[in-house]
Structure 1
Amino acid sequence: MPITRRIEQFLRDTGMPPTVFGRRALHDPRFVFDLRLGREPGARVRNRAEHFMNKWHASGATYTAPPRGRRHL
């Protein structure tokens, strides 16, 4: 399965927003949006994204959105 489809499935399964995935997996919050616009990631980037998804599933982690409202700095 192409990496774009795997990531989209991961996002649906976990409820994780695309920006959070990009930031956590690749330190690039625009990553998923760029994929949707036709970006073709190289092997290293694909491997990093796959590794993140595999680790996430193996850990049994769930995504919980942070509370809305003011941020405390």
Structure 2
Amino acid sequence: MTLLQEIERHLKRSGTAPSVFGRHAMNDPSFVRDLRNGREPGELTIARVREHIRAATPRATDAR
């Protein structure tokens, strides 16, 4: 799964707007739009975004 696919899945599940996600994850509200238009993120960016998604995704154990 590509980073963009992971982001799109997260956006759908969380109901987060792409610009809000970009602002929170990368301090760049155009980040998702740029990825959709072919931007190729580096390894550090990929790691940062994946960590943001992981931290923002509630776990089943968190609901207890």
TM-score, normalised by the number of residues in structure 2: 0.88
Report which of the two has the higher share of helix. 2
Larger radius of gyration: 1
Q: Which runs of 4+ in 1 moved over 3 A?
A: none
CA distance in 1, matches of 2:37, 2:6: 16
1:1-73 paired onto structure 2 within 5 Å? 1-58=1-58
CA distance in 2, matches of 1:41, 1:58: 25
**Where do 5+ consecutive residues of structure 1 fail to align?**
61-73
**Where do 5+ consecutive residues of structure 2 fail to align?**
none
- The alignment of Structure 1 onto Structure 2 pairs a total of residues equal to 60
**CA offset digits 1:10-42 (Å, max 9, x no partner):** 000000000000000010000000000000100
Considering only aligned residues, what root-mean-square deviation do their CA atoms show, in Å? 1.3
